[in-house]
Amino acid sequence: MTNVPGFDEIMSDDESLPDFDAVLPFSDLPWILDIDLSELPPPTQILPKEPSPPLPEFNQSGFKIGLVWAGSPQNSNRAIRDIAPGILDELSDIQGIAWYGLQKPSPVELPKLPDFIDMSPYMGDFMDTAQILRQLDLFVTVDTSMAHLAGSLGVTTIVLLPYLPDWRWGLNSTQTPWYETVTLLRQTVNGDWRGVIGKLKQLIVEFGIAKLRGMC
């Protein structure tokens, strides 16, 4: 059993359950309590912001952008959620970018991006991954647990979504009530990832210009 503020008990899978009166899936709570988006509490960060000492791989010059283009092979939505790494090659002509792959396990095929670095050997657990995410200027991912980790850390993140995404992301907005630093970039045509990558290129350029202006 683990003690966490706001919870009486948190049990692991290998522990015997105590006596209880009812079972309720956590994701059903908003429906049971009749809560709408305006009543959600403000997003909070779950881990300290202080980064660990940078890895040598982060000594590259340029804007540091992390990429995740696929999730678990066991996920039933992978056919519509994952992006073929070759499609990401269209980002290769953006100047001044240092690219980092946060795909785990290390993929067989990598995007053909300039000076691309596979960071999977350093990603032992979510705490290791959190330290890597904190050292990025921008994180780009499909809908995986990495999107939620980055959002909870306050990392500037773009989540690439299929035409019909998971319910958590809604259907139209570019923002999400769950995380203040996450932007949603959606397919407007079912299966059209190339259109999404085209919009992503524009956002990356705009983000780089804004960041440079902030340094002046």
Q: Is the peptide bond before 56 cis (omega within 30 degrees of 0)?
A: no
SS3 call for 126: helix
Least confident of 15-19, 187-191, 200-204: 15-19
Q: What is the pTM of this model?
A: 0.83
More confident call, 158 vs 14: 158
Burial of residue 129, with CB atoms counted within 10 A of its CB: 0-12 exposed, 13-18 middle, 19 or more buried? buried
The stretch 154-168 carries a mean pLDDT of 93
Helix, strand, coil percentages (3-state) for the chain, rounded to 5, are: 35, 15, 55
SS3 call for 67: strand
**Can you say whether the dihedral through the CA atoms of 160, 164, 167, 172 is positive or negative?**
positive
CA distance 198 to 140: 14
Q: Output the pLDDT for position 46.
A: 67
pLDDT tens per residue, range 41-86 = 766 666 655 667 778 888 888 899 999 999 877 777 778 899 999 9
How many CB atoms are closer than 10 A to CB 72?
Answer: 13
- Domains (ranges, CATH) in the chain? 57-215 (3.40.50.2000)
